[in-house]
Each structure stands twice: as structure tokens, then as C-alpha cells.
Amino acid sequence: MSELTTPHDHGQALERELEHVPSVENFQTVADVFKQMGDGSRARIFWLLCHCEECVINLSAMVNMSSPAVSHHLKQLKAAGLIVSRREGKEVYYRAADTPQVQLLHHMIEHLMELACPNEFV
């Protein structure tokens, strides 16, 4: 592999280490996650699911949206790996995935909005 260089060397360490800069494909995961958070309703549903496990009907009531609209957002969040689901009888329950990335995103949302977790109110 040939050594990558910049047209102008400003003496910055990153310019000398370009072969270690992740490719655009590596950043696609980040872009996909931020795309999911690009919709306020979906970000709100995600935030709620970081604090509870709920079914579509209850989530619909909590966010004042139709069940089909909530289901659409849940499908996208699940496809992105941000939430998981489990079936109990006829009911499907959703919650945030238990991963370090999801926890970081949850905390980032709260810091950006200056929110506190509901369990911190008690």
C-alpha cells in the first residue's frame, strides 16, 4: 500500500498518519445512528425506551402518536440495533439495547437536552 500524503504538510500528526484514518465505510455506522436520531419523535421514543420496556399501545399513548406511526419508528430503531424486542403471548415489548454504544447515545441525548433520567428524580 502506498503512503498517503496531503498536498500541504502543516506539521500535524494526523497528516503524517493518514493510513490509520478510518475509511468512510467505518463511519457509516455513526452516520446511520445519527440518521435515526434525526427524527425528534424517534429520538423521543428511543429515550423513553432507555428507561422502560413498553408495548406499542402504551408507547403510542405516552408519545401521543398512532400505533402505526410508533411501529414505524420502532422498526427503524430496531434495524439500527438501538432497541430490542421480546414477545410475551400476543404482546411485543421494546427496550433499548444493552450495549455501550446505546448507553453512550442515551447519555449524549440527556447531556444535549440537559435532561435527567427519570430514576434520578426519586
CATH number at residue 29: 1.10.10.10
pLDDT in tens, 34-52: 888 899 999 999 999 999 9
Range of the domain at 71: 23-120
pLDDT of residue 1: 45
Number of domains in the chain: 1
Q: Is the pLDDT of residue 25 over 50?
A: yes
pLDDT in tens, 52-108: 999 999 999 999 999 999 999 999 999 999 999 999 999 999 999 999 999 999 999
pLDDT of residue 55: 97
Q: What is the mean pLDDT of the chain?
A: 86
Q: Is the pLDDT of residue 22 over 60?
A: yes
pTM, entire model = 0.78
Averaged pLDDT for residues 11-20: 66
Residue 86, domain member (yes or no): yes
Cα–Cα distance measured from residue 52 to residue 25, given in angstroms and rounded to the nearest whole number: 33
Are 36 and 82 in contact by the 8 Å Cβ rule? The answer is yes
> In Å, how far are 6, 25, 89 from 3, measured between CA atoms?
10, 20, 58
Residue 57, domain member (yes or no): yes
Name the one residue in this structure whose C-alpha cell is 452516520: 31
pLDDT of residue 24: 85
Q: 3-state class of 82 per DSSP?
A: coil
Amino acid, single-letter form, for residue 86: R
DSSP code per residue over 3-66: PP--SS----HHHHTGGGSPPHHHHHHHHHHHHHTTSHHHHHHHHHHTT--EEHHHHHHHHT--
